[in-house]
Structure 1
Amino acid sequence: MAGAAASRERWIDVAKGVSILLVVLHHAVVKNLPMEAPEALAGVVGGWDVVTTALKPVRMPLFFVLSGFVASRAVHRPWVQVRRRALTPYYTYVVWLLLLGAFFSVERLLPMNRTQDLGELGTDLVWASTGTWFLYALAVYFLLARLLSALPATWVLSGAVTLSVVSSELGIQEWNRFSVLFHFTYFALGALAPQVVRRVAERAPVPLPVLAAAYVGFTVLLWQLDLPTGVYLLLASGLGVPLGVRSAVVLARTTRPAQVLAWIGRRTLPVYVMHTAVLATLLHLPPVLDLESGSVLRGVLHPVVVTAIAVLVPLGAHAVLLRLGATWLFALPQRRPHPRPAPATRSGQASRRSTEACASTSEGPYQVSIRPSTSSLGERSASGPSSAVNS
């Protein structure tokens, strides 16, 4: 049973690792590559654009299905037990909205949805439009799923699908506010119908190569139909999300690749919030790969190398910041409970018994430690940032 649980956890972390890599690769393709590639490499730029566009029905839908799947038990718990889970993503969103807003008010080269003034900042606090919209969406989606958890899942999913379709008619497809409206369907699927996700992960009705070929053929067909963005993404993700889940399950059976992807998948938050700043900084440094020679090979490798840098640098910065105690950048600060003084006794045995009783109290399955050890505090600090973005 322990081995089966570990296997299930690994494929989820692997899938999250793949998702964040695809997000960074997408930004490396659409933001950095066109600005650094000469006209001679227009074909390479176009080819990469086709690849990252074809992955759009997989990238964020898979991320949100996983986020909802991990939160599927929490959405049915009492509010008092889950309020921190709802507050942490929004708190982190506000922190990085301010930090990145300050950064991109100075850095103006990278194509970004920037917060231009205090008015836009106020609007972003209510309805996200910048690159940190995923964190805002996590907070809002969790609250919606918790509020709607008493309703039949089919009702909620039908309403979410309708919202996804209608969002295409608002004329905001080029803004992240469209993404906030559109992707609730996937979080609701994972949170309110987790058995569907589990069934896809545990059963393989068709081999993975067949599923991949079907996805490619289906997306090509949908492109020809010139459908509204929301309709196209919903239909394509019907194969794209299962393809992502099954690919993660297969990758999780490997050794070294699974270890690397799962390790990244447990640290998606620092990569997500910091990678655009790294991409912007690279534009002001000597080129990673000199593309002026028109080398097709360099043009093909450029987004891959830039993605690697934009992932490794935030992970390194995250480790340093945690060592410096800057956990508030990645998780809502947690107040430490103060132990109640035990009544003085002649032998001190009553005091020890009182302390031990307090330390072992529990609320349901959750152990409550009054005086956590240094190692347990360190573990909570290290896991907090990952859970904030993946809950």
Structure 2
Amino acid sequence: MISKPRELWVDVARAVSVLAIILFHFLIWVYFPGMHERSPSLVGVWEKVADFTSTFRLPLLFMISGFLAGPRIRDGFANRKNVLSAATNAWLYVVWLSVFAICSIVIKPGLPLRVGSVDSYFKQLILPRTIVWFIFALVLWTLVLSLLRRVPPGLLLAATFVLSCTIWYAPRPSGEMYVQVLYYGFFFTLGVYAPRIIRWLAAKPVWAKLLLSTVLLAVAIYLIPLIPRDVAGVGSVLRTVKDSLVAGAALPVAALVAFTPLLGKALAYIGRRTLPLYVMQLPILWAVIMVRPRMPWGTSAFQVLSPFIGLAGVVIAALALHWILVRTPARVLFELPTMFSRWIRGKTMQS
């Protein structure tokens, strides 16, 4: 059976999400520390950019991930691809946590998200504290939703929405990211069980959907902040609603960009490679942070352009390294080894 080609806007949306994530990390780890005393006005502009992208970069990425996984997840474990997907992501999580731990041996202490000890490494097999918590979340929510396939979708959406609104009140030891894992489960579930809405937002006529997108953004940015937060829990509910509106508003924009010949194809190319970009950004940014003091922060042009240069540099470096590594035995950094995938396929076919 020949699978249907993926729609271009899906990969554009994935690209926008991962580029926003990389830009955010470059800003908080490289740009802000280098610029905080040199140009407060420029720092203020980029802080606003970082704040705005926080409303869609991960909600959109989880929503699209759920949208893509939805057809098989709705089949439950009757679809053996769910077991294979969970196993693949579990492998990727352990492999990249191990890569980060090895890198942490040679890099200087104090760098962000460093795996500081053997004890920390083993704890993170269950409680993630690095950027690969996103992959951990994919494993968890794939298994949970596959297991609960017979539960009415409306009930699952309501339950994950309540979870996303209340999880912020749970005790959270410094650095542990299980709260994010549980919060973004709602957006993954939304992608799984609301594919028609997602596809409708990205469908033609795009200009009409862009008008709706503008309305959603206006509500999220200007009206929601005006709602009083005197009652306990209102703030967390409004956060989930706001993130949902902005993520939904991003879909018509992604569809419009997908119709732009060069830009659409370039972003779709990036969107099909979100895994290497996402996982490799951390070691690349560690290298950038170590040379940060020697960067020409006193140059006006560098002050203005460095976020764009940094984003482009991380993307190019990650894509180049990925291109090299997948042509060597190191390709197991990005895929489940064949012996394991064959074993899982054989077991699921026997069951």
- Rounded Cα–Cα distance in structure 2 between residues aligned with 1:109 and 1:208: 46
Contact 1:279/1:310 (8 A) holds in 2? yes
CA RMSD of aligned residues (A): 2.8
After TM superposition, the structure 1 = structure 2 runs for residues 21-60 of structure 1, keeping only pairs within 5 Å, are: 21-60=19-58
After TM superposition, the structure 1 = structure 2 runs for residues 210-359 of structure 1, keeping only pairs within 5 Å, are: 211-212=213-214, 214-216=216-218, 218-223=220-225, 230-285=236-291, 290-293=296-299, 295=300, 297-335=301-339
Identical aligned pairs, as a percentage?
A: 27
Task: State the shift of 1:211 in Å.
Answer: 2.5
1:285-333 CA distance string (max 9 Å, x none): 377962224x2x5323211110111111011000101112322111111
Farther-moved stretch of structure 1 (105-114 vs 26-35): 105-114
After TM superposition, the structure 1 = structure 2 runs for residues 161-176 of structure 1, keeping only pairs within 5 Å, are: 161-172=161-172, 175-176=176-177
Query: In structure 2, the residue corresponding to 1:280 is in which secondary structure?
Result: helix
- Rounded Cα–Cα distance in structure 2 between residues aligned with 1:221 and 1:101: 44
**Structure 1 unaligned blocks of 5 or more:** 339-391
Aligned residue for 2:183? Answer: 182
- Rounded Cα–Cα distance in structure 2 between residues aligned with 1:109 and 1:300: 29
Task: State the shift of 1:62 in Å.
Answer: 0.5
Task: State the shift of 1:123 in Å.
Answer: 2.2
Task: State the shift of 1:109 in Å.
Answer: 6.4
Task: State the shift of 1:80 in Å.
Answer: 3.4
The reply on whether 1:123 has 2:123 as its aligned counterpart is: yes
Contact 1:201/1:245 (8 A) holds in 2? yes
- Rounded Cα–Cα distance in structure 2 between residues aligned with 1:125 and 1:45: 36
Contact 1:69/1:190 (8 A) holds in 2? yes
Task: State the shift of 1:226 in Å.
Answer: 7.8
1:126-162 CA distance string (max 9 Å, x none): 1222111111111111111101121111100111011
2:66 to 68, 75, 97: 68
Contact 2:30/2:292 (8 A) holds in 1? no
Task: State the shift of 1:65 in Å.
Answer: 0.7
Contact 1:72/1:190 (8 A) holds in 2? yes
Letter in 2 for 1:208: L
Contact 1:110/1:280 (8 A) holds in 2? no
Taking structure 1 as reference, are residues 110 and 261 closer, same or farther at Cα in structure 2, changes over 3 Å only?
Answer: farther
After TM superposition, the structure 1 = structure 2 runs for residues 76-91 of structure 1, keeping only pairs within 5 Å, are: 76-77=75-76, 78=78, 80-91=80-91
- Rounded Cα–Cα distance in structure 1 between residues aligned with 2:110 and 2:261: 37
- Rounded Cα–Cα distance in structure 2 between residues aligned with 1:132 and 1:91: 11
TM-score, normalised to structure 2's length?
Answer: 0.86
- Rounded Cα–Cα distance in structure 1 between residues aligned with 2:169 and 2:20: 27
Query: In structure 1, the residue corresponding to 2:297 is in which secondary structure?
Result: coil
After TM superposition, the structure 1 = structure 2 runs for residues 197-212 of structure 1, keeping only pairs within 5 Å, are: 197-202=198-203, 206-208=208-210, 211-212=213-214
- Rounded Cα–Cα distance in structure 1 between residues aligned with 2:169 and 2:207: 35
Query: In structure 2, the residue corresponding to 1:40 is in which secondary structure?
Result: coil
Letter in 1 for 2:210: L
Contact 1:149/1:192 (8 A) holds in 2? no
Farther-moved stretch of structure 1 (138-147 vs 278-287): 278-287
- Rounded Cα–Cα distance in structure 1 between residues aligned with 2:247 and 2:155: 21
TM-score, normalised to structure 1's length?
Answer: 0.78
Task: State the shift of 1:48 in Å.
Answer: 0.7
Farther-moved stretch of structure 1 (308-317 vs 163-172): 163-172
Letter in 2 for 1:274: M
- Rounded Cα–Cα distance in structure 1 between residues aligned with 2:292 and 2:119: 36
Query: In structure 1, the residue corresponding to 2:100 is in which secondary structure?
Result: helix
Taking structure 1 as reference, are residues 302 and 213 closer, same or farther at Cα in structure 2, changes over 3 Å only?
Answer: farther
The reply on whether 1:137 has 2:143 as its aligned counterpart is: no
Query: In structure 2, the residue corresponding to 1:129 is in which secondary structure?
Result: coil
Structure number, greater radius of gyration: 1
Contact 2:91/2:336 (8 A) holds in 1? yes
Task: State the shift of 1:177 in Å.
Answer: 2.3
- Number of matched pairs: 334
**Structure 2 unaligned blocks of 5 or more:** 343-351
1:344-381 CA distance string (max 9 Å, x none): xxxxxxxxxxxxxxxxxxxxxxxxxxxxxxxxxxxxxx
Contact 1:61/1:241 (8 A) holds in 2? yes
Query: In structure 1, the residue corresponding to 2:260 is in which secondary structure?
Result: coil
1:37-79 CA distance string (max 9 Å, x none): 1512122112211111111121001101111111111111515
Aligned residue for 1:10? Answer: 8
Contact 1:145/1:192 (8 A) holds in 2? no
Task: State the shift of 1:213 in Å.
Answer: 6.3
